Structures are given as structure tokens and as C-alpha cells.
Structure 1
Amino acid sequence: MKQEQAEVIALQAITFISSEERALHGFLAQSGAGIDDLQSNLTDPAFLAGILDFLLSDESALLVFCEQAEIEPQLIVSARRALPGAENLWDG
């Protein structure tokens, strides 16, 4: 997957997280980010990677997001691999 495709998926995930109160509170607590960071970091690949990291760490949010976006959870892993900081996250 190309980085641009991964960024689009992460932007979809931001929209999802912003609309789901439990996911939003979980992301803010886990990341230390604030509400304003969601909008001000939309073009930061490292921030977008953090969005996908959050989804991958919260299975229930991941599954709801994937169902709503009509994508397979494995696609989130592929997207995360395409963004900065994934070099040592998974083999292969």
C-alpha cells in the first residue's frame, strides 16, 4: 500500500473516532492529544500513524470502524505499515 492510500484510511479513521464518543475518549487518553490536535494534524503522517495505532490497540473500535468503512481489518495493518514508525512493529 502506498503512503497516500494509508493516509486516506487514517483520515477516515479520524472521522470515525471523532463521531464515536467512546473511541474519542479512548484515543485522547491513550495519545495525550487534545480535540484540537485532531484537526491541526490532519496532514502529519506520524499523527495519522498514531490514529491507526489506536485502532489496532482497540479491537472493538477497530471492528466497528471496519464495518462502517466496509474494509477488512487486515487493511488497517497494511495502512499502518505504509506510515512512519512501522519498521519494527510487525514482521514481513
Structure 2
Amino acid sequence: MSAEEAAGIATEALLRLSRDPDQIGRFLAFSGIGPEMIRQAAAEPGFLAGVLEFYMTDEPLLLALCENAGIRPTMIAAARYALAGGLEDHA
């Protein structure tokens, strides 16, 4: 999977999170950033991988994303891997 394709999947995941006040609140707590910092954080390396990691920690949320986006759950893991540069860099 290309980095561009992975970024597209992660961006869609972030957009879906932003539409759900409860989930975006959980994500902000998970990531340790405030709502005013999302745009700035999104430009940081690894942020989009972190969005996908958040989904991967919550199976019902992950499955809902995949169903709504029409992608397989394994694509989320592949996108996370592509964005993070491999497990050896982000253990």
C-alpha cells in the first residue's frame, strides 16, 4: 500500500471520528492533545498512524469504520504499517 493511499484511509477515519463527539473525545484523550491542536497535530509524522491505532484498539469502532468505508479491517492495519514505516520503528 502506498503512503498516499494509507493517508487517504487515515484521513477518512479521522473525518469519521470528528463527526462523533463521544469518539473524538476518546481519541483526544488517547492521543493527549486538545481539540484546538488537531490541525497542527495532523501535520506531524505519525499522527495519522495514531488515528488508525486508535481504531485498532476498539473492534466495534473499527468494524463500523470498515463497513461504512467499504474496506476490509486488514486494510486499516496495512495503512497503519505504511504510515508508521514498519513495526521496527514504532514498537
Per the TM superposition, whether the score is higher than 0.5 is yes
* Number of residue pairs the alignment of both structures matches: 90
TM (norm. structure 1) is 0.84
Q: Distance in 1 between matches of 2:10 and 2:45?
A: 9
What is the deviation of 1:59?
A: 1.1
Note if 1:29 corresponds to 2:29. Answer: yes
What is the deviation of 1:68?
A: 1.0
Question: In structure 2, what is the equivalent of residue 39 of structure 1?
Answer: 39
Deviates more, 1:49-58 or 1:20-29: 20-29
What is the deviation of 1:85?
A: 5.4
**CA separation of 1:62 and 1:2: change in aligned 2, threshold 3 A:** same
Q: Contact 1:11 / 1:42 at 8 angstroms: preserved in 2?
A: no
SS in 1 for 2:87: coil
TM (norm. structure 2) is 0.85
Q: Distance in 2 between matches of 1:20 and 1:68?
A: 14
What is the deviation of 1:14?
A: 0.6
What is the deviation of 1:33?
A: 1.5
Gaps of 5+ in 2: none
